């Protein structure tokens, strides 16, 4: 074994308890030459990375996304691990030492200089590099990923990956590549542990809603109206109907069976469209979808989603329809004119035009002003606020005060201009971005205390001479950022407007207590990095709390608030925080904020008023963190299955139950008390002439005709929807038992508990307690696969019970990939499934009969295929 090159390095401070736990497990995790750690901002990720490098003890290349973060690594090494200057360090990738700090960009540029890639691999091997550290590893996509992955494949390297947020919102191929390079996640430092230890301050997320302008509302309403008119025209368009009738799927489905089974939703859309036109559809056309009886077919109504799907498939299929080329081109022109077709994608929601305007709606400028003024009224001189956005918008730099209300874009300058005319104390406001720096003229003396005046030039702002624009030479950018940050940290600047590209990652200003995220460009990762600026604790300020504000503009034509709010909800999957509910808990996801599921324009003001009120009670935020941290000891995975009824769950369940028993009891009583005497009088001669047995048969026939059909339908509904939470519990145990038998779970069985909870609104949550992180992920992922709408699994599973077949309520479920890759494993799952759910059967879907069943199973889910059925969460328990 080689000598440890870094044995003389020693961390000179005590480790936090969560850091100690992570390092205790390090030797187990590193056995596969990978160590992949999720560590939130403020967890000491850099010093942990250096300790890991020290323990591995081999020549190391540390890579970071920016020069600022690269420099932090060297600074932490020299100040935290040695009392004397450590010499064996290099910043130059072309001149390697024992420990080397560089950026991904530098490595990629270096990689491109090699025509012969073998020479690139050999260079690092000859220089003895054996460990590669990937800081902020979520940046590793595309080209940066390629030059590293090829290097990793060329020799046996130990790879250490550190990130605050894995890029879960990336495309599946990108995410796969990410894990190929970094390895599976080995350990995670939990935000509650950081708050508990004082590394992060108590904090809360708030959403401030805005209403679109009248112009924006009119545009949206007109867009929706035009789509409705277009669909109505389409239903009366004889040429389009003739085209549908002549399409090979409808004209001769049996001749195109394989292709049809590969695209059942296209054929379904054809049937649904024709039905909406009141066309008669022969049953033999529909039977191809797996239906055996005409009365079990319930064709859904035509919706925007089905029409969108129909048109999308027609456009995708145009190469197979040369005889209709001219007609399809005409149709495409019509769709483009309506702004429905963009880059060959049919979109009835209007993402590109409507939601770009909502994302950057000028209504958000008013929201920012209200938030800052409210926070300033409560915090006074304690306010330290940062507003981060995407663009600078220099075109508004000289906007006069009377024209500021006409600014129609979101950006650094528009935000600055709106705040400039609305705050009383103007010298607390400043701008810091890569190309624009503005401060109040009264702060110039402070700025130049530690700066050379020869490096900078200043110019008064034309629209307001109280402010000056500071410009520096090209090599002074980092000094300027440091100088403005210093003015912010000492409280001379209290409101700082900047770009997320400059301040979103790697920038450190622990005094921030109010952060407004006015950004709509970027990933979950970027959002989490920006949020991390406000939640760091501050030395000498143990009572610090952080408020993080998110902005959303409501679409009044969409019940759940529209696309802007939807994107924000998805981003919250990357945020772990405290709930804003009576029973406080720590979790990721948007639901923890307790906002209504449906939002109208009329409700926006009252919701905002309540949000502002909550934000002012920072002491309550601290108390809630303390309370919630006490409830748990580690992060666990949880799956939530959403209730899909039209009414609230207790009401819907009661309806199903009442319907199932009502006709068996109530109507029976009514029938016997009201109608039976009349029946007896009218049929007395039957009793006298044909006897009691015949008479009883007559009564039973009478009762059956009166309410037998209703009873049948009610029982069918109850069996299908009324017991979902009980089914989820049984499915969860079947998955657990299978994972255990296949040895994917090795934790002692008696230490593990499956917890299924039926929530008041009808949603069901399921979690596994006592399993390790990898086991927990396998369990939750398998359960999620089963409950999701069916796509294209190798095997399906269904209860093999006679009354379900008779009632036509056969529910099919996909067998999870982890069990469905081989038949032997699938049969083990069938055994445990049958034990929990009752006698069941598996269906192989890769033959003709199996494809038919798969199509039928998919149709069962197709109406909800666009909806989110389940959601994976992280929760502190």
pLDDT digits (tens, 9 = 90+) for 343-361: 889 988 776 677 777 888 8
For residue 653, pLDDT over 60 is answered with: no
Helix axes 524-531, 563-571, angle to 10 degrees: 70
Q: What's the pLDDT at 476? A: 81
How far, in Å, CA of 477 to CA of 467, rounded? 20
**What value does the mean pLDDT take over residues 94-103?**
96
As separate numbers, helices (DSSP H) first and strands (DSSP E) second, the chain gives 37, 27
Top-confidence residue, 184 or 586: 586
Q: What's the pLDDT at 695? A: 58
Cα atoms in the 13 Å half-sphere on the side-chain side of 860: 23
**Is the dihedral angle over the CA atoms 34, 35, 40, 45 positive or is it negative?**
negative
At residue 520, what are phi and psi to the nearest 5 degrees?
A: -125, 0
For residue 660, pLDDT over 50 is answered with: no
In the numeric block, the tokens 């921030």 are attached to 512
How far, in Å, CA of 514 to CA of 629, rounded? 23
How far, in Å, CA of 680 to CA of 657, rounded? 32
Q: What's the pLDDT at 415? A: 97
Which 3 state secondary structure label does DSSP give 266? helix
**What value does the mean pLDDT take over residues 738-764?**
88
Q: Name the band, by pLDDT with cuts 50, 70 and 90, for residue 255.
A: confident
Q: Name the band, by pLDDT with cuts 50, 70 and 90, for residue 131.
A: very high
First to last CA, the chain: 42
**Superfamily classification of domain 364-624:** P-loop containing nucleotide triphosphate hydrolases (3.40.50.300)
How far, in Å, CA of 97 to CA of 84, rounded? 18
Q: Domain limits of the chain?
A: 17-189, 215-357, 364-624, 649-720, 724-876
Top-confidence residue, 153 or 167: 153
Can you spell out the DSSP letters for 58-110?
S-EEEEESSHHHHHHHHHHHHHHS-SS----EES-TTS--SEEEEEHHHHHHH
Q: What is the mean pLDDT of the chain?
A: 85
Say if CB 348 and CB 307 are below 8 A apart.
Answer: yes
Q: What's the pLDDT at 692? A: 63
Which one-letter DSSP state was computed for residue 321?
Answer: -
In the numeric block, the tokens 């600047």 are attached to 493
Hey, do 17-189 and 364-624 end up sharing a CATH topology, with the first three levels equal? yes
Q: Name the band, by pLDDT with cuts 50, 70 and 90, for residue 667.
A: very low
For residue 204, pLDDT over 80 is answered with: yes
Task: List, for residues 300-335, the tens digit of each pLDDT value.
Answer: 789 888 999 999 999 999 888 899 889 999 999 999
For residue 89, pLDDT over 60 is answered with: yes
Top-confidence residue, 824 or 726: 824
**Mean pLDDT: which of 134-148, 272-286, 816-830 is highest?**
816-830
Q: What's the pLDDT at 674? A: 52
For residue 526, pLDDT over 80 is answered with: no
Say if CB 214 and CB 363 are below 8 A apart.
Answer: no
Q: Name the band, by pLDDT with cuts 50, 70 and 90, for residue 573.
A: confident
Task: List, for residues 426-470, the tens digit of each pLDDT value.
Answer: 999 999 998 899 999 999 999 998 888 888 999 999 999 999 999
Q: Taking Cα atoms as reference points, which of 799, 817, 834 lies closest to residue 742?
A: 817
Top-confidence residue, 640 or 462: 462
Say if CB 443 and CB 394 are below 8 A apart.
Answer: no
What percent of the chain is modeled with pLDDT above 70?
Answer: 84
How far, in Å, CA of 527 to CA of 298, rounded? 44
For residue 474, pLDDT over 80 is answered with: no
> Worst-scoring range by mean pLDDT, 116-125, 178-187, 369-378, 695-704?
695-704
> Worst-scoring range by mean pLDDT, 166-170, 681-685, 708-712, 860-864?
860-864
For residue 863, pLDDT over 60 is answered with: no
**What value does the mean pLDDT take over residues 19-39?**
88
Say if CB 597 and CB 867 are below 8 A apart.
Answer: no
Task: List, for residues 693-730, the tens digit of each pLDDT value.
Answer: 655 666 566 555 555 555 555 444 444 444 577 888 99
Q: What's the pLDDT at 419? A: 97
For residue 651, pLDDT over 50 is answered with: no
**What value does the mean pLDDT take over residues 393-397?**
96
**What value does the mean pLDDT take over residues 215-234?**
91
Say if CB 125 and CB 155 are below 8 A apart.
Answer: yes
For residue 561, pLDDT over 70 is answered with: yes
- Burial class (CB within 10 angstroms; exposed 0-12, middle 13-18, buried 19+) of 555: buried
How far, in Å, CA of 243 to CA of 245, rounded? 5
Task: Give the number of other CB atoms < 10 A from CB of residue 232.
Answer: 10
Fold of the domain spanning 17-189: Rossmann fold (3.40.50)
**What value does the mean pLDDT take over residues 227-252?**
93
How far, in Å, CA of 227 to CA of 813, rounded? 35
Q: What's the pLDDT at 847? A: 85
Q: Name the band, by pLDDT with cuts 50, 70 and 90, for residue 231.
A: very high
Q: Name the band, by pLDDT with cuts 50, 70 and 90, for residue 99.
A: very high
Q: Taking Cα atoms as reference points, which of 426, 436, 503 lies closest to residue 469?
A: 436
Q: What's the pLDDT at 862? A: 41
Q: Tokens representing 773?
A: 């992180």
- Burial class (CB within 10 angstroms; exposed 0-12, middle 13-18, buried 19+) of 854: buried
**What value does the mean pLDDT take over residues 762-791?**
86
> Worst-scoring range by mean pLDDT, 169-178, 201-210, 844-853?
169-178
At residue 874, what are phi and psi to the nearest 5 degrees?
A: -110, 130
């Amino acid at each position: 074994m080689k000598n440890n090159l870094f044995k003389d390095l020693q961390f000179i401070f005590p480790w936090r308890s969560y850091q100690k736990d992570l390092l205790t497990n390090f030797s187990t995790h590193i056995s596969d030459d990978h160590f992949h750690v999720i560590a939130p901002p403020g967890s000491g990720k850099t010093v942990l990375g250096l300790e890991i490098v020290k323990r591995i003890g081999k020549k190391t290349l540390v890579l970071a996304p920016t020069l600022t973060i690269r420099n932090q690594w060297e600074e932490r090494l020299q100040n935290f691990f040695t009392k004397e200057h450590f010499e064996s360090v290099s910043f130059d990738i072309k001149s390697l030492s024992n420990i080397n700090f560089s950026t991904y960009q530098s490595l990629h540029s270096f990689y491109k200089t090699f025509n012969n890639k073998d020479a690139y691999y050999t260079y690092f091997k000859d220089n003895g590099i054996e460990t590669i550290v990937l800081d902020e590893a979520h940046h590793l996509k595309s080209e940066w990923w390629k030059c590293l992955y090829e290097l990793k494949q060329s020799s046996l390297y130990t790879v250490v990956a550190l990130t605050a947020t894995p890029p879960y919102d990336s495309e599946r191929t990108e995410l796969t590549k990410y894990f190929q390079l970094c390895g599976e996640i080995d350990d995670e430092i939990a935000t509650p542990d950081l708050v508990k230890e004082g590394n992060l301050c108590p904090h809360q997320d708030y959403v401030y809603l805005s209403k679109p302008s009248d112009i924006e509302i009119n545009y949206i309403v007109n867009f929706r109206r035009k789509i409705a008119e277009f669909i109505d025209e389409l239903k009366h368009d004889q040429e389009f109907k003739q085209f549908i009738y002549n399409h090979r799927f409808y004209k001769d489905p049996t001749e195109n069976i394989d292709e049809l089974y590969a695209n059942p939703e296209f054929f379904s859309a054809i049937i649904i469209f024709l039905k909406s036109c009141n066309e008669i559809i022969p049953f033999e056309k529909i039977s191809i979808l797996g239906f055996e009886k005409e009365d079990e077919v319930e064709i859904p109504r035509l919706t925007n989603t089905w029409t969108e799907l129909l048109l999308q498939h027609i456009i995708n299929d145009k190469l197979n329809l040369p005889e209709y080329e001219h007609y399809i081109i005409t149709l495409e022109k019509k769709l483009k004119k309506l702004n429905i077709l963009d880059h060959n994608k049919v979109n009835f929601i209007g993402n590109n035009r409507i939601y770009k305007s909502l994302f950057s709606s000028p209504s958000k400028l008013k929201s920012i002003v209200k938030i800052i003024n409210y926070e300033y009224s409560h915090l006074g001189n304690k306010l330290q606020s940062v507003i981060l956005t995407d663009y600078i918008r220099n075109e508004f730099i000289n906007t006069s005060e009377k024209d500021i209300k006409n600014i129609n874009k979101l950006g650094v300058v528009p935000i600055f201009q709106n705040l400039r005319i609305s705050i009383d104390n103007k010298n607390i406001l400043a701008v810091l971005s890569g190309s624009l720096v503005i401060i109040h003229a009264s702060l110039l003396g402070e700025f130049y205390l530690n700066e050379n005046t020869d490096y900078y030039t200043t110019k008064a702002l034309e629209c307001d001479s109280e402010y000056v624009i500071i410009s520096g030479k090209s090599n002074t950018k980092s000094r300027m950022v440091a100088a403005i940050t210093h003015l912010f940290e000492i409280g001379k600047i209290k409101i700082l407007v900047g770009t997320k590209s400059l301040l979103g990652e790697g920038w450190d200003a622990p005094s921030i207590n109010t952060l407004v995220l006015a950004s709509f460009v970027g990933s979950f990762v970027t959002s989490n990095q920006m949020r991390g600026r406000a939640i760091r604790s501050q030395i000498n300020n143990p009572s610090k709390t952080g408020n993080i504000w998110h902005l959303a503009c409501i679409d009044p034509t969409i019940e759940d608030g529209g696309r802007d709010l939807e994107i924000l909800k998805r981003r919250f999957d990357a945020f772990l925080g405290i709930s804003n509910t009576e029973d406080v808990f720590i979790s990721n996801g948007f639901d923890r904020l307790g906002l209504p599921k449906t939002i109208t324009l009329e409700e926006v003001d009252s919701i905002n008023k309540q949000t502002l009120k909550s934000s002012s009670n920072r002491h309550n935020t601290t108390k809630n963190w303390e309370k919630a941290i006490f409830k748990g000891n580690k992060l666990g995975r949880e799956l939530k299955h959403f209730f899909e009824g039209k009414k609230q769950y207790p009401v819907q369940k009661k309806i199903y139950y009442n319907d199932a028993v009502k006709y068996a009891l109530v109507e029976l009583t009514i029938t016997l008390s009201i109608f039976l005497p009349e029946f007896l009088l009218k049929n007395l001669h039957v009793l006298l002439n044909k006897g009691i047995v015949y008479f009883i048969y007559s009564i039973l026939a009478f009762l059956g005709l009166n309410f037998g059909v209703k009873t049948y339908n009610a029982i069918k509904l109850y069996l299908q929807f009324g017991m979902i939470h009980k089914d989820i519990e049984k499915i969860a145990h079947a998955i657990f038992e299978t994972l255990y038998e296949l040895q994917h779970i090795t934790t002692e069985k008696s230490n593990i508990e499956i917890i299924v909870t039926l929530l008041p609104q009808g949603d069901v949550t399921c979690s596994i307690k006592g399993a390790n992180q990898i086991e927990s992920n396998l369990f939750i992922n398998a359960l999620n696969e089963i409950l999701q709408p069916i796509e294209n699994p190798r095997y399906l599973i269904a209860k093999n019970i006679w009354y379900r077949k008779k009632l036509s309520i056969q529910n099919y479920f996909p067998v999870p990939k982890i069990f469905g890759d081989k038949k032997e494993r699938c049969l083990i799952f069938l055994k445990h499934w049958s034990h929990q759910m009752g006698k069941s059967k598996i269906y192989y879907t890769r033959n003709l009969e199996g494809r038919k069943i798969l199509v039928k199973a998919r149709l069962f889910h197709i109406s909800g295929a666009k909806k989110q059925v389940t959601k994976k969460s992280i929760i502190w328990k």
